[in-house]
Each structure stands twice: as C-alpha cells, then as structure tokens.
Amino acid sequence: MRSYYRSRRIEGPPEIEKREFGYSLTPFRKIETRHRAFSSEEELNRFLRESAPFYISYSVGYFKFPRATPMENKVLLGSDLVFEFDVDELGLKSERDVWVCDHCGEAGYGWRERCPKCGSPVRVEIFPDEKREERLKSMVSSLIEEFFLGDLGVSEDEISVNFSGNRGYHIHVRSKDFYPLDKKARIELAEYVTGQSIDPSYLFGEAGSCGRNVPFLCVKGPKPSDAGWPGRVARAVVRVLREKDRGLLLQILDEKKVDVLLSNAQLYASLISRGLWPGTSLFPLSTWVEIARRLAPLGGYTIDTNTTVDIHRLIRLPDTIHGTTGLVAMRVKKLDGFNPYREAVVLPSKEISVKVKIAPEFELGKKSFGPFRDEEVQLPLYVAYFLIGRGVAEWSLTSRG
C-alpha cells in the first residue's frame, strides 16, 4: 500500500482544513483513530506516504475546530449530502456469492441466513458479478437523473460518484442549498427519495366521467407519464395491478377487496394510465389514496439512510485503498462502462501461496480465477488479498515470484 501512495498524489476533499479524518493502521477495524485534521492536501499526502493506512475516511461535515473533542466542541458549519448504494441494502443477490459459518466451518454458494449444518448465523461474502454490477450502476444513474438533476434541480458539477472500494457506490452532493440542512431535514429528504413520506392525497382532483360504457365515476389523479412523484405513484399502482401481485395487495386490503381489485385489474390499470382513478362503493378515493401511499416506495430507491442523515458521518476518502478488498475507492467519471473489478485493482501481481476455503469462478484485474474449494493455490497478490479480506482464504507459508 505504501508504494501506491508514494507513486501518486491523492486529491483531498473540498475545504480540507475544515474536515475531520479517521483512519486505521491495521486491517482489523475501519476506524481506530479519529479527530485527526490536515491543514492542506500536501500534509494529507505526506501522512498517506508515511503511514499507508488500511482505511482512511473524512467527515461529510465542515467544522470550525475539526480536531476538537468531544464532538460538540468541533462547531459544525455545514455538511455535504451523501447517498450510499450497496449490495446489502439493495438485496442484490448472486449465485457467485458465498456464505461461511464461522461456528462449524461449513460454507457454500448463494445467500442464506443460517447454516444448514449447525443452525448458526452465517456471513455472506460477495464476489464480482457483471450483471449485478450493471444493475447497481443503473440504479445509481437513475437516482441521479430522476431525483438530483430532475426533482431537486442539482447541477451535474455539484455531484460526484465514487466506488466505495467494496460493496457499492457513494454519491456526493456538494450544493450550498443542502449545506445547512440539519438531521431532521435530511431524514425528510431521505424519506422523499425512498418514497416513505409521500402523501398521495394532494395528487387527486374532482370526480367525473370515466368514459363511455364505464358504470361508475372516476377521480382525476396522477398518470404514469407524469413527472416526479405523481408519475412514480401511478406507475407503481399500474405495475402491481398488471402483475396481479396478490401477496402485496393483501398487505394493504382485505381479501374481498383484493379479489374484486384483481378481477378488474386490467380495466382499472387502463383507466389509471389515463389519469382516471375508479370511484366505486368498494374503492372510494380514500382507499385509492391508501393504496397509492403504501405502494409509493416501489417508485423510490433503497438507500443506506444512516449515511444520508448523519451529519457527523465519516466517508471513505476517494482514490484510497479499501483495507478489506485491496481495491481503490475511486472516483468514477462515467458510470457507463466502468468495471471496479478491473479498474480499481492496484496491488502488485506478484504470486503468493494461499489456502482457499471457498471461492467461485470470478474475474479480477481482467483475469479469471477459481473456482476453489479447500485447496492451496498460487495467486497474484491482489487476488490473494481480496480473498483473505473476504474471509475465505488465509496466507500460506510458501510463495514464489
């Protein structure tokens, strides 16, 4: 790691002298020391070259006294807005991932919560999966396009995207409009993005005709082609109706109403697509408002809300090495075509010997490896480090190269 930091200059965050830093000089904890500050980018790089930390993060907040303790003595001046997307939060599973039981030593492929052998909780370790990566990047791009550039009116030059170095991406929004937001306001913003706080009642208007041959009145409401949350709400309802998702609807309505709704699903979906919401004795406006409210999150995004609302959060410093994977938590200029498991590889390719418990076939650094199961193999250092960091391999006494 030291050779990496000695061969390049790491760009510090804006207004670096107002940031708190935290770091770890061992791989066992991500933050062992915090309340550190650097007066300049040069001082930061000198520290990186001399100490080569396994992890280093900086505060999303700007402080008058970043070195001060306790936290309230730092005097918060404002904070960046950060959204975190990762595989765990989004539930993006892959058959390439592995689970390991640290209690009995059993291991296997895929995702599960408990060990089939001893019943103990297991840990799941993710491996490169190109299809999952494309889906993850698509979600990040859509969030930026729909919410930041669309709903919130943020300009592109105020947004930066970073690969986290491990399981996902960080979106940084550095706009003075969000700078002073307190925790409560950030909670409201996070709920807006996820759809948890949407009140659909304001989306509906007056009742009127549904058209010829329709034996009931309709209420004017949102349609799928509408911009912003009106369109998202309508698309979510139409989607559930067309898919006839009985299980989801039973979480909202009683069985009788679900049966009637599904028997008329195509008609109702067709009407809502035109902005006409059916008004019947069984489905008055209040019922549609409740359905829309409960289904609204389907039009939102799953994010790590703790990251967004925490104004004292420490976030990975871009272009530094992630101590768990050995990959660089790098800035991403263009998501389309970006592959972190190729572009974020920086550790040497010198071969060493490791004992691998389990690993699928996977690609890292433009080369394919595995599958491995309870065997000792010679691997490039960057691959060995990745497997050891995932907790599925350990160093062997022999190496070559």
Q: Where are the beta strands (DSSP E) in 284-336?
A: 314-316, 320-321, 328-329, 331-332
Closest CA to 190 of 302, 295, 69: 302
Burial 350-386 (b: 16+ CB within 10 A, else e): ebbbbbbbbbbebbbbeeebbebeeeebebbbbbbbb
Residue 27 binned pLDDT confidence (cut-offs 50, 70, 90): confident
Look at the pTM and tell me if it is higher than 0.95: no
Residue 150: how many other CB atoms lie within 10 Å: 12
- Residue 401 pLDDT > 50, yes or no? no
Domains (ranges, CATH) in the chain?
2-89+130-194+303-332 (3.90.920.10), 95-128+347-399 (no CATH), 200-299 (no CATH)
pLDDT per residue over 134-156, tens digit each? 999 999 999 999 999 999 999 99
pLDDT per residue over 91-141, tens digit each? 899 999 999 999 999 999 999 999 999 999 999 999 999 999 999 999 999
| Cβ proximity of 169 and 138 under 8 Å | no
Spatial separation of the C-alpha atoms in residues 29 and 324, rounded to whole Å: 10
pLDDT per residue over 340-390, tens digit each? 999 999 999 999 999 999 999 999 999 999 999 999 999 999 999 999 999
Instruction: Specify the amino acid at residue 32.
Output: E
DSSP codes of every residue in 70-124: SGGGG-EEEE-EEEEEEHHHHT---TT-EEE-TTT--EEES--SB-TTT--B-EE
Average pLDDT of the chain, as a whole number: 94
